[in-house]
Structure 1
Amino acid sequence: MNILFTSVGRRSYLVQYFKEALNGKGKIHVANSSELSPAFQVADYSVVTPLIYDKNYIPFLLDYCNQNSIAAIISLFDIDLPILAKNKSKFNEIGVNVIVSSEKTVNICNDKWRTYCFLKENDLKGPRTYLSLGEAAEDIKKGILKFPVMIKPRWGMGSIAVYEAENVNELNVFYDKVKRNIEKTYLKYEARKNMAQSVLIQEKLKGQEYGLDIINDLNGKYQTTIVKKKLAMRSGETDCAITVQNNALKKLGKKISSLLKNIGNLDVDVFTEDNDLFVLEMNARFGGGYPFSHMAGVNLPVAIIKWLSGEKTDKQILTEQNNILVQKDISLVRLSPKTDIQNTKKYHL
């Protein structure tokens, strides 16, 4: 069984997890729009693809899958998800299982405004959120919204262009700055759907932050929720966390699963404050917090391979140990690019 990871970037650990899960019964292929990817050094095979929004991106992947007997595709990048979800049937026709949630679910998760609306519609709580700078400013005057507030891209990821405003002047400055940042980065591709409403003003949540891995099988059937208490963050990702037993958060995970019918992992950030649960963000993919679940005994790669093979999974495969404290480390990887990097001005990783 050969598996292809798209937009693999620096997720070398996931490549290693799946290699171990395959146990020699298949190969791991990885793809990225730049060969400057540490995961290229870990995989069995690697390939540089066209950019995600290039018209040749999907044809390229289809051809690659045909030539390399790929059984399944897993994407690790939010911007990649809607493109793959939209073209899922094309891969199914050639026998490739794209492990991605439905277009509807992906769009709810990728669009933070739609996330907020989804939460309200289903009696779930999230931070007070605004698309209009004027409406946010008006509610600040009324005392409904209080500083500090967060200004961020509506379609954003990795804490890119996220700012915290302490007063009205900062709010106005950061609002304009986020718009400029969107136009200068790959976030512009998602934002072009509605550039005029591409920036959010959001209440800053306080309290303790948790990360949830909400796991469904390949048919969207609920399996479990893993709860991790976040102890440190770095560049928008969990840097240190401990697995905990929290029935309220597990119940929340099961409810979200029943509503979204996600495929595989759904990465969710939640704050607890005054005995209330506030959902901040949802990512319909393996998130940066999954390694903490894996280190606690959960093995989603093994489960996915068994599901792909039509085998039953032992409940123990997706059962975590509690009180497992883990912190990410920083390591260096020596790359072996085939292009002349010295004469290349810029890579978009």
Structure 2
Amino acid sequence: MNILLTSVGRRTYLVDYFKDALIESQGKVFAANSTFTYAMTHADSYIITPEIYSNNYIDFLLQYCKENNINVIISLFDIDLPILAKNKQKFLDIGVNIIVSSPNVIDICNDKWKTYLFLVERNIPTPKTFLSLPAVHEAIDNNTLELPLIIKPRWGMGSIGIYKAETIDELNIFYKKVKNEIQSTYLKYESALDIDKSVLIQQYISGNEYGLEIINDLDGNYITTFCKQKVAMRSGETDQALTINNPALHKLGELLSRELGHVCILDTDCLEENGKFYILEMNARFGGQYPFSHLAGAHIPKQIIEWISNGQTKNEYVTIKENVLCCKDIKPTIIENN
């Protein structure tokens, strides 16, 4: 089995995890990205692709899959997901399986406004969220909302354009600043769907932050939930985390699984305030917290291969140990030495 990881970015560890998963079958890991990154060099082979929104991106990938006998594609980047989800059948027609949720699920996760509506409609706790500045001012005047508030992109990822407003003046300034940042980064592509409503204002929740990885099989059936308390963050990604066993979070994970019906892994962020858990975001892909689950005993890359090959779930691949404290490290590396 040969696996292509698209939009691999800096996730060297995921390339290594998939290479480890393919040792027994002597398969290969291929990496793709629109710009060169060091993570690509860890793959058995890599390729620089057109940009995701390029008209020939899909045709390029199709041809690359044919030439390299690729069996499976897994994307590691939010922006890549809707493009691949919409074109999944084209890859199936040439015998390539894309591990991606349906276009509707991807839309709900990538569009943070739709995430909010999805959660509210199902009475799943989430911070109050607004799509317009006047509506926020009105809520503050009516005493149904109070500062501080979080301002962030509607179609956002990582730490790009996220600010905490302590005053009305900061609220107005950060709102404009976030819109400008959206238009000057890759967030402009998805935000172009509704640029005038591309900024969200969200209730600030003060409390411990948790990460859930909700695991479904490739048919969208619930398997388990990995729970972690986030100890430290860096650039919008989990930097240190402690694996935990929390029945309330496991129950919440199962509820989200059944309501959403995603495929494989759902990376979810939540906050606890006064004993209540609030869902912040959902990402239908491997996220920055997966290494902590892996270090605690899980092996989702091996489980994906098992699902594809035999349709079975192996408990050893979807189980983590409790009370494992993990962190990420920075390791300087030579790329070239001519």
The TM tier, using the shorter chain, reads: over 0.9
Paired position in structure 2 for 1:129: 129
Q: Residue by residue, what CA displacement relative to the aligned partner does 1:232-251 show, whole Å, maximum 9, x if unpaired?
A: 11110111110001000001
Q: Residue by residue, what CA displacement relative to the aligned partner does 1:75-112 show, whole Å, maximum 9, x if unpaired?
A: 00000000000000100111101000110100000001
Paired position in structure 1 for 2:262: 262
Paired position in structure 2 for 1:28: 29
- Give SS of 2:200's match: strand
Give me the whole-angstrom Cα distance separating, in 1, the residues matched to 2:177 and 2:312: 51
- Give SS of 2:232's match: strand
Using the TM superposition, give the Cα deviation of residue 337 of structure 1 relative to its aligned residue in structure 2, in angstroms: 11
Aligned-pair identity in percent equals: 55
Paired position in structure 2 for 1:323: 323
Q: Residue 223 in 1 paired to residue 213 in 2?
A: no
Paired position in structure 2 for 1:277: 277
Paired position in structure 2 for 1:176: 176
Letter of the aligned partner of 1:193 in structure 2? Answer: L
Q: Residue by residue, what CA displacement relative to the aligned partner does 1:250-299 show, whole Å, maximum 9, x if unpaired?
A: 01001101111111110000111112110000000000000010011011
Paired position in structure 2 for 1:117: 117
Give me the whole-angstrom Cα distance separating, in 1, the residues matched to 2:330 and 2:144: 42
- Give SS of 1:31's match: strand
- Give SS of 1:70's match: coil
- Give SS of 2:218's match: coil
Paired position in structure 1 for 2:244: 244
Letter of the aligned partner of 2:34 in structure 1? Answer: S
Letter of the aligned partner of 1:132 in structure 2? Answer: S
Paired position in structure 1 for 2:289: 289
Paired position in structure 2 for 1:206: 206
Give me the whole-angstrom Cα distance separating, in 2, the residues matched to 1:131 and 1:16: 40
Q: Residue by residue, what CA displacement relative to the aligned partner does 1:285-340 show, whole Å, maximum 9, x if unpaired?
A: 000000010011011011001111125232122111000000111112322499xx
Give me the whole-angstrom Cα distance separating, in 2, the residues matched to 1:164 and 1:144: 18
Give me the whole-angstrom Cα distance separating, in 2, the residues matched to 1:332 and 1:59: 36
Paired position in structure 2 for 1:345: none
Q: Residue by residue, what CA displacement relative to the aligned partner does 1:42-72 show, whole Å, maximum 9, x if unpaired?
A: 1000000000000000000000001101010
Paired position in structure 2 for 1:347: none
Give me the whole-angstrom Cα distance separating, in 2, the residues matched to 1:337 and 1:70: 32
Change (3 A) 1:115 1:311: closer
- Give SS of 1:272's match: strand
- Give SS of 2:31's match: strand
Gaps of 5+ in 2: none
Aligned 1:62-81 pairs, distance under 5 A: 62-81=62-81
State the TM-score, normalizing by the size of structure 1: 0.95
Give me the whole-angstrom Cα distance separating, in 2, the residues matched to 1:62 and 1:315: 34
Give me the whole-angstrom Cα distance separating, in 1, the residues matched to 2:116 and 2:336: 43
Using the TM superposition, give the Cα deviation of residue 11 of structure 1 relative to its aligned residue in structure 2, in angstroms: 0.5
Change (3 A) 1:53 1:27: same
Paired position in structure 1 for 2:101: 101
Q: Residue by residue, what CA displacement relative to the aligned partner does 1:93-142 show, whole Å, maximum 9, x if unpaired?
A: 11101000110100000001000000001110101100010000111122
State the TM-score, normalizing by the size of structure 2: 0.98
More relative contact order, 1 or 2 (CA 8 Å, 6+ apart)? 1
Give me the whole-angstrom Cα distance separating, in 2, the residues matched to 1:164 and 1:317: 39
Give me the whole-angstrom Cα distance separating, in 2, the residues matched to 1:102 and 1:323: 34
Give me the whole-angstrom Cα distance separating, in 2, the residues matched to 1:222 and 1:337: 48
Q: Which stretch shifts more, 313-322 or 94-103? A: 313-322
Give me the whole-angstrom Cα distance separating, in 1, the residues matched to 2:153 and 2:331: 30
Letter of the aligned partner of 1:76 in structure 2? Answer: L
Paired position in structure 1 for 2:146: 146
Letter of the aligned partner of 2:99 in structure 1? Answer: I
Give me the whole-angstrom Cα distance separating, in 1, the residues matched to 2:107 and 2:49: 23
Using the TM superposition, give the Cα deviation of residue 199 of structure 1 relative to its aligned residue in structure 2, in angstroms: 0.4
RMSD: 1.2
